[in-house]
Structure 1
């Protein structure tokens, strides 16, 4: 996708600002109740005050009132600054993502076709190892239905598809802002998803590896297919694809450190680490961990809607919402910052003192079961009986719940993916000067220590519901757990010595005290090193 080289110099900002572009326009959002979707809704309401109606696709659930679900969504703290009148702009529409005409009744469908101007397609199954058929139906068939709906609108000013930077992880080298050839034909996969017979012998991950080929999971596979669908179906339309990397909580807007339910992607590890549950990180210490604050991704999406809606493009625009190319952060640096900043704003209700190390292979596996699973199994019943769990979960339940999500990142944290941001950097200077600060999406000046510290405070306040600012009490609690940690290390060395003493006594090995002490120290040191 090329742009006239004189566009920046000659535009003189004659085109509308972002707020002016969105003024009076009606928006349709899929996935609006998720983490990204929630921040998107708030950003549209706050930064484009003259926006029209925001239609929110909601799947009907048995025994669940749709309006009540939207009320719960809008009652979240990030909407506190909005008046009741403003929140009335958010209107639920009941539908089914992968159904023909998205499952709308005729009246709803006709109203939406007449009124909707801009579509943000955010909905997707983000579980990395969802069954292949389910992933295709949600991420591919759902995208096709959304495209069909968009093309049927009376006037579509923009179509923004939220993808992922990981979708081309079956390719090596620098990944550019273009749509890559898919591992399979998307139209053949659409047909396959509708054919029951085709799935008779495809039930486990091993059964579909020959279909997904070099992709590490069904998520990246189907998101790559969906991008190809967008590129082919929306050629000549005002369409865009935004690819975020590992999405963390907000950096600035609407509040610092908003993390939602802290279960999206790598935020699950972050929340578990904050409580001292997760103490090991799998990966290559020198690999880049490509983080991006959620508000930067949402800003990029809103800017792209404005960009494609104010000029004629032959093909959908593609940008990466990533940081590795402009502000690289290694996994080792990330781990060091975690361990440093958690001391500044610790939790009052930690399970153990938070401290993580990078481990690989057998070392990681042994540590995980010995120092994660085993202690939480011992603590399970006392915690359950005394009601000391984390957000209605015991530590063991919490660990199992989030470990599935974080384990899926092992592939990405052990490689060094590179993402070009040339398109994103080309578009940024085209914004009106008044829009630059509010819609910042360039990660080059991000302070990683500041981001993680803000997210620690966000996890503490919004997810674990711990109120109040960091106080002397927090410092004392952290110091207490540090002391307990050192006592625990000393205890490991002592019990290691006693273990060898017991073995020597039971079997009469005739070992001298210095040898026993050395063996005990060796085993204890090994456990501490582990």
Structure 2
């Protein structure tokens, strides 16, 4: 286990390759350095040289516009079928119409081949505006079959040769965003994939920029997160080797216990492996034109092309809708905690802008770390979790385009700080009504669904608990310098200024977008089943009644007992023995296995 100690700050964790790394000057000129084989556990190219990012982000450097920079260039996008990746693709093609082309690295998934996946991606409503202005935009979209965790990315020799010759900019978005993914798979998808992609990008003859998408929570063991690299919790290569040495028959608990021990103050394998991926960028990409962008909680589109567009309910959208429907009643968290949401189009704008900045700026001295950009909203335009829910409810009330959602169960959604109190109310407000509703569904000959819905809901919101119970602050100096280097026109076309977000309007569009763009992912409205709806309401009020009785007894029970049976009892001495005798008769009947009521029949 000694290999799992934090990496020393002045040395790598593997033997350097014999090929001398290319200097930034030769790299910028287009001369490719010696290729590094795309193998698992690629050796680190250069040692750590600095713990503080000092990036050449001077605004006075003459630069072309973003559209001019990307004109005639080929951009490689990983994760292009995902939420962020497809937004990057659309923005690139719409705002930079003279781009030479976009190469999308896509793997087969669930028996669907990559070309079909890309075809389905570009059919999305997200591309409607682009489709109207440029009906032939798909001619610039090239699908390349591959897999980031396979040696050589699983590319054919023909495809690999084309990419080596053509690619100018890499936007790396691919990752697993499952917060609680198994450690082995999370390492593959979030760390090994970065190593393999960097190793392959070294072979590109005309690489101008490589932008890696991390997360603002990669360093969430810190309360204040600067725009710099931090020492990784363990050596990425050593951990990958250790996990791969575990036998395939090893129980999941062994891997789970290892993940728990390694995560430390990080709440899940997602943030843990993202921290390791940043260490890989810092070391194995030290002599390359690389940069890191850290987005916080990625939400629906803010401005264009379609305000409110989204393709999943994994983020705040699902919380807005289920809270408004009355299904989600309670979450653990702080009502007044800052929720750091950043629109997906802001993230896409920043990724493309960083690629432009790196590709047009002065070469980075070899003693400096690659630049890091924190893409967050809380510092400039904060919003609390409770404000989000309030704005979502207003959106439902103000919606004139369709019938409003009437809450299935009346009452208010709330955050509670204590985990014990949360579990208590979750059982009362989620579990009991769901079990009762499923009983009715079974009696109706229908498939039970509510318990499963609540399990999924509780699991989803549980993953957000670390982010609703804690708040972070982030530096944004590099982001400010990036914006300052851009022209006013580019700042408008590639907007990532959180101060421009009007939260009530944004969440109104976000809420409507949840219903419009992903109806297949929404839970069916139980209000359509009158019996089920009635039972949910009845269960809720029954729970409230017994909770009130319990709390009343807890607070006043001893006082009532003293008044009834104590020295100052309000009952007469003749009445007390009668009550005691009645209690004895009831206890005796129950001990005999009978019922006092049944005995009277």
Normalised-by-shorter TM-score class: 0.7 to 0.9
Question: By how many angstroms is 1:236 displaced?
Answer: 3.2
User: Is residue 2:276 matched to residue 1:228?
Assistant: no
Aligned to 2:475: 420
Aligned to 1:514: none
Larger Rg over CA atoms: 2
What are the residue-to-residue correspondences of 1:225-264 with 2, within 5 Å? 225-263=276-314
What are the residue-to-residue correspondences of 1:65-76 with 2, within 5 Å? 65-76=113-124
Separation (CA, whole Å) in 2 of partners of 1:26 and 1:375: 55
User: Is residue 2:498 matched to residue 1:448?
Assistant: no
Aligned to 1:403: 458
Separation (CA, whole Å) in 2 of partners of 1:130 and 1:359: 27
Per the alignment, in what secondary structure is the counterpart of residue 126 of structure 1? coil
Per-residue displacement from partner, 1:257-305 (whole Å, max 9, x unpaired)? 0121222x44443343343321222112332211111111111111111
Separation (CA, whole Å) in 2 of partners of 1:442 and 1:497: 48
Separation (CA, whole Å) in 2 of partners of 1:194 and 1:182: 19
Per the alignment, in what secondary structure is the counterpart of residue 306 of structure 1? helix
Q: Tell me if structure 1 keeps the 8 A contact 2:191–2:274.
A: yes
Per the alignment, in what secondary structure is the counterpart of residue 342 of structure 1? helix
Aligned to 1:129: 180
Aligned to 2:518: 463
TM-score, length of structure 2 as denominator length: 0.73
Separation (CA, whole Å) in 2 of partners of 1:100 and 1:61: 18
Aligned to 2:374: 320
Aligned to 1:528: none
Aligned to 1:139: 190
Equivalent of residue 20 in structure 1, options 43, 48, 68: 68
Question: By how many angstroms is 1:205 displaced?
Answer: 2.8
Per-residue displacement from partner, 1:140-167 (whole Å, max 9, x unpaired)? 1011011111111111111111100110
Q: Tell me if structure 2 keeps the 8 A contact 1:274–1:354.
A: no
Separation (CA, whole Å) in 1 of partners of 2:282 and 2:180: 25
Equivalent of residue 424 in structure 2, options 356, 359, 366: 366
Question: By how many angstroms is 1:16 displaced?
Answer: 0.8
List gaps (5 residues or longer) in structure 1: 467-476, 501-508, 512-530
Higher mean displacement: 272-281 or 101-110:
272-281
Aligned to 1:518: none
Per the alignment, in what secondary structure is the counterpart of residue 398 of structure 2? coil
Per the alignment, in what secondary structure is the counterpart of residue 91 of structure 1? strand
Aligned to 1:277: 327
Question: By how many angstroms is 1:35 displaced?
Answer: 0.9
Per the alignment, in what secondary structure is the counterpart of residue 167 of structure 1? coil
User: Is residue 2:426 matched to residue 1:376?
Assistant: no
The 1:190/1:488 distance shift into structure 2, 3 A limit, reads closer
Q: Tell me if structure 2 keeps the 8 A contact 1:276–1:354.
A: yes
Aligned to 1:330: 384
Per-residue displacement from partner, 1:440-475 (whole Å, max 9, x unpaired)? 112123222122111011011111279xxxxxxxxx
The 1:262/1:171 distance shift into structure 2, 3 A limit, reads same
User: Is residue 2:238 matched to residue 1:184?
Assistant: no
Q: Tell me if structure 2 keeps the 8 A contact 1:266–1:406.
A: no
Separation (CA, whole Å) in 1 of partners of 2:386 and 2:549: 36
Higher mean displacement: 51-60 or 223-232:
51-60
Equivalent of residue 303 in structure 1, options 350, 353, 368: 353
The 1:285/1:112 distance shift into structure 2, 3 A limit, reads same
Separation (CA, whole Å) in 1 of partners of 2:88 and 2:240: 29
What are the residue-to-residue correspondences of 1:50-129 with 2, within 5 Å? 50-61=98-109, 63-83=111-131, 84-129=135-180
The 1:136/1:354 distance shift into structure 2, 3 A limit, reads farther
Equivalent of residue 413 in structure 2, options 331, 346, 356: 356
Q: Tell me if structure 2 keeps the 8 A contact 1:339–1:356.
A: no
The 1:348/1:46 distance shift into structure 2, 3 A limit, reads same
Q: Tell me if structure 2 keeps the 8 A contact 1:274–1:456.
A: no
Higher mean displacement: 188-197 or 124-133:
188-197
The 1:485/1:175 distance shift into structure 2, 3 A limit, reads same
Separation (CA, whole Å) in 2 of partners of 1:168 and 1:199: 32
Q: Tell me if structure 2 keeps the 8 A contact 1:114–1:154.
A: yes
Per the alignment, in what secondary structure is the counterpart of residue 217 of structure 2? helix
List gaps (5 residues or longer) in structure 2: 1-52, 522-527, 552-560, 565-601
Separation (CA, whole Å) in 2 of partners of 1:284 and 1:162: 28
Aligned to 2:208: 157
Higher mean displacement: 82-91 or 248-257:
82-91
Q: Tell me if structure 2 keeps the 8 A contact 1:275–1:353.
A: no
Equivalent of residue 287 in structure 1, options 320, 333, 337: 337
Per-residue displacement from partner, 1:63-96 (whole Å, max 9, x unpaired)? 3233222221111111122334102322221111
Separation (CA, whole Å) in 1 of partners of 2:316 and 2:445: 27
The 1:462/1:382 distance shift into structure 2, 3 A limit, reads farther
User: Is residue 2:92 matched to residue 1:44?
Assistant: yes
The 1:362/1:212 distance shift into structure 2, 3 A limit, reads closer
Question: By how many angstroms is 1:398 displaced?
Answer: 3.4
Per the alignment, in what secondary structure is the counterpart of residue 492 of structure 2? coil
Per the alignment, in what secondary structure is the counterpart of residue 56 of structure 1? strand
Q: Tell me if structure 1 keeps the 8 A contact 2:177–2:270.
A: yes
The 1:322/1:385 distance shift into structure 2, 3 A limit, reads farther
The 1:209/1:25 distance shift into structure 2, 3 A limit, reads same
Root-mean-square deviation (CA, aligned residues, Å) is 3.6
The 1:209/1:47 distance shift into structure 2, 3 A limit, reads same
